[in-house]
Structure 1
Amino acid sequence: MESTSPATSTKTGGFKGRKLTGILYSKKIAPWFFILPFLISFALFFVYPVISAMNMSFQQVLPGQVEYIGLENYEKLWNPIFWKAIVNSSKYTLYTLLILIPVPLVLAVFLNSKAMMLRNFFRSTLFIPALTSVVVAGTVFRLAFGELEGSLMNTIAVSIGFEPQRWLRREELAMFALVLLACWRWIGVNLLYFMAGLQNIPIELYESAEIDGANTWNKFSRITLPLLKPISIYVFTISIYGGYSMFTESYMLWAGNRSPNDIGLTIVGYLYRNGLEQNNLGLGSAVGIVLLLITFAITIVQLKLFGMFRKEE
C-alpha cells in the first residue's frame, strides 16, 4: 500500500497555493475575479428578469395556466390608453430634463464659489427633500394641490388674483404638480453630482484664465462646461430613466392608479394596472419590454449625440 510522505504533501499543497496565487495575480484573470460579484448580481437581478419578462410577454399567464399566444399581447398595446401613458411619461421626462439639468448646474456653480455665504446650509437644505419618503411627499403635495379654497396652492393663486383651481383634474395643471414634485425632490441629488464634478476641476485652470483676461462667462463656457461633460451626460441619462420609470409620485398624488381621464397615467402605471391590478402578467410584461426599448433607444441616441461612442485620438 502506497503512502504519501509529509514532505510530498507539503510540496503539493505549496505548489497548489502558488498556482492559485499566480492565477489571482494574473493580469488577465484577476480583473474578472474582482468583478465577479457584480457579474453574478447583474445576471441574477437584471439579465434573468429581462429574459423572463420577454418570454412572459408572449404568454397568457393565468392562475395555474400558461399558454403561448405569440404577439397578441403586443397587439393589445395599440390602444388609446397606452398611447396616453406614453405621451404623459414623455412630457414628464422632457419637462423634468429642462429643469433638472440647468438649474442644479447653475446652483452648483454658485454653491461652489468661495464668495457664496452659508454654502453648507444651502447644500444641506437643497438635499433634504431627497431624504424624504416619496409616499410622504406625494401625500403632502396632494393636500397642497387640493380643490378646497383653503389648500396651499389655491391660497397662493387667490392671493395673486387667480381663481381657485382644480389642480389634479386638469391635464396641464396636473402635469405642473408632477413636475414640481420631481423638481423639489431631485434638484438636490443632481446638485450633488455637479458639485462633485466642479470640485475635481483644478483651480489652476481658472487662475490661468483670469491672467489671460477671461471673464466669468468665458471661464464657465470654456472650462466648466467642457470638463463637466461626463457628469452632465450621467445626470442626463439617469434623469431620462427616472422620468420614464416614474410611478409612485403619480400614484400618491391621486391616491391610486386611477386619475381623471388618465391625466396622471404613466407607462409604469399602465404596467401596474394590467400586470397586478388585472392579473394579466403577460400584457404587463409586454408593457415592460416596450418601456425598456423606449428608454434604451433614447439613451443610445443621446449618448451618440454627445459623442460618447467616439474613439479618443
Structure 2
Amino acid sequence: MKKIQAFLFSQKIAPYVFILPFIVSLSFFWIYPMYSTINMSFHNIGNGYSEYIGLANYEKLLGDKVFHIAVRNSVIYTIFTLIILIPIPMLCAFLLNSKSVVGKRIYKSIIYLPALVSVVVAGILFRYMFSEMDSGLMNQILQFFGLESKQWLKNWGTGMFALLLLATWRWTGVNTLYFEAGLSSIDEVLYESAKVDGASAWQRFWHITLPLLKPTRIYVTTISIYAGLAMFLESFMIYGSNNSPKNIGLTIVGYLYRRGIEKNDLGYASAVGLVLLIVALSISMVYLLSSGMFKKEDK
C-alpha cells in the first residue's frame, strides 16, 4: 500500500496521473473514432460484410452531384452566417456596453433567450412560420402588404432565407455576449486618453475597439465556420425530414446522415465525413493564418 501511495504521489508520476483522464477520453472519443472512420472510408460496408475498395469512395464523391449540392448549400449557408452573425452581434455588444443604456441585464437576458430554446422546437416553429398555407405567419405578412402567398420551403432562395433567419434568431444573443465580454476587458483609460487627444467615436472604435477585439472576433468566427459547415438539425426540423424538395436544404452532414443511416452505406458516409473534416480544418487554418493568429509577437 505504501509503495502504491509513494508511486502515485511521486513528483515524476503525478503529472501523468493528472492527465490520464484526458488521454483516455481523447483516445476513446476522438483518436479511435477517427481511426475507424479513416479505415471504413476505404471499405464498402453493408449488412454483415466489409470489402476493401481503396479510393473508390473518394472517386465516387468527385462525380456525385448530390454531394456537390450539399457542399454548395453548406458553404453558402456558412458564408451568410458569417456576414450576419459577426457584425450584427458586435454592434449589439457595442450598444449594450454603452454607459447610456439602462437595464443592460434585462436586454442581455432577452437577447440570449432564443439560445435556450431547443433546436427541435425552434425548427418546428419556423416550419409553421414558413408554411405554404395562407395561415402561415410569413404568408400572412405578405397578404397584409397585398402580396400573394409563397411556397417558402420549396424554393432555394426562400428556403435558405428561412434557415438563415433561424440561425440569426438563435445565435445573435450568444455571439453578442462573446463580444460584450471582449469589450468589457478593454481598459476605459484607453478611450479616455483618445478623447483627450481629440479622437472621434469612429476613430476610437476603429483604432481601439476593433484591434483589441481581435481575439474574440477570431474565436467567434472560427466557431461560426464550424457551426455553419456542421449544420444539420435545423434543416432537418424545418423541412420535417432529411429529404427537402430538390435537395435545397441538404447539407454535408445531412448527406452523411442520408448515406450512413438511411442507406446504411457506412463506408461512403465515412468518406463524406472525412471530406467535411478536411474542408472545415482547411478553412479554419487559412483564416487563422491570414488573421496572424500564429505570428510571434514582438517583445
Q: TM-score, normalised by structure 1?
A: 0.90
Residue 12 of structure 2 corresponds to residue 23 of structure 1: yes
Structure 1 unpaired stretches of 5+ = 1-8
Counterpart of 1:246 in 2: which secondary structure?
A: coil
Q: CA deviation at 1:310?
A: 1.1
Distance verdict in 2 for CA 1:18–1:177, change over 3 Å = closer
Residue 105 of structure 2 corresponds to residue 116 of structure 1: no
Counterpart of 1:23 in 2: which secondary structure?
A: coil
Supply the AA of the counterpart residue of 2:142: A
Residue 119 of structure 2 corresponds to residue 134 of structure 1: yes
Q: CA deviation at 1:35?
A: 4.1
Distance 2:33 2:294 in 1: 28
Counterpart of 1:67 in 2: which secondary structure?
A: strand
Match in the other structure for 1:41: 25
Counterpart of 1:290 in 2: which secondary structure?
A: helix
Bigger drift between 206-215 and 259-268 goes to: 206-215
Distance 1:193 1:38 in 2: 27
**Could you list the per-position Cα deviations for residues 136-178 of structure 1 after superposition, in whole angstroms to 9, with x for gaps in the alignment?**
0000000000011121001112223322111000110000000
Match in the other structure for 2:57: 73
Tell me if the contact between 2:8 and 2:17 (Cα under 8 Å) persists in the aligned partners: no
Bigger drift between 161-170 and 92-101 goes to: 161-170
Q: TM-score, normalised by structure 2?
A: 0.94
**Could you list the per-position Cα deviations for residues 171-221 of structure 1 after superposition, in whole angstroms to 9, with x for gaps in the alignment?**
100000000001101111111111111111111111111111112111111
Match in the other structure for 2:151: 166
Counterpart of 2:9 in 1: which secondary structure?
A: helix
Counting aligned pairs with the same residue, the percent is: 51
Q: CA RMSD in A?
A: 1.9
Q: CA deviation at 1:23?
A: 2.7
Distance 1:73 1:276 in 2: 17
Counterpart of 1:50 in 2: which secondary structure?
A: helix
Bigger drift between 173-182 and 194-203 goes to: 194-203
Match in the other structure for 1:249: 234
Bigger drift between 45-54 and 234-243 goes to: 45-54
The correspondence for 1:96, drawn from 81, 94, 102, is: 81
Counterpart of 1:22 in 2: which secondary structure?
A: coil
Alignment: residue pair count: 297
Q: CA deviation at 1:20?
A: 3.4
Tell me if the contact between 2:256 and 2:272 (Cα under 8 Å) persists in the aligned partners: yes
Distance verdict in 2 for CA 1:194–1:177, change over 3 Å = same
The correspondence for 1:220, drawn from 205, 211, 216, is: 205
**Could you list the per-position Cα deviations for residues 95-123 of structure 1 after superposition, in whole angstroms to 9, with x for gaps in the alignment?**
10000000000100111112112211111
Q: CA deviation at 1:17?
A: 3.6
Correspondences of 1:192-207 after superposition (within 5 Å): 192-207=177-192
Supply the AA of the counterpart residue of 1:79: D
Distance verdict in 2 for CA 1:17–1:130, change over 3 Å = same
Residue 70 of structure 2 corresponds to residue 51 of structure 1: no
Q: CA deviation at 1:38?
A: 2.8
Q: CA deviation at 1:33?
A: 5.1
Residue 254 of structure 2 corresponds to residue 265 of structure 1: no
Structure 2 unpaired stretches of 5+ = none
Distance 1:287 1:309 in 2: 29
Supply the AA of the counterpart residue of 2:155: R
Supply the AA of the counterpart residue of 1:280: D
Bigger drift between 264-273 and 41-50 goes to: 41-50
Supply the AA of the counterpart residue of 2:50: V
Bigger drift between 232-241 and 37-46 goes to: 37-46
Q: Which has the larger radius of gyration?
A: 1
Counterpart of 2:199 in 1: which secondary structure?
A: coil
Q: CA deviation at 1:272?
A: 0.4
Match in the other structure for 1:5: none
Supply the AA of the counterpart residue of 1:234: Y
Distance 1:112 1:34 in 2: 40
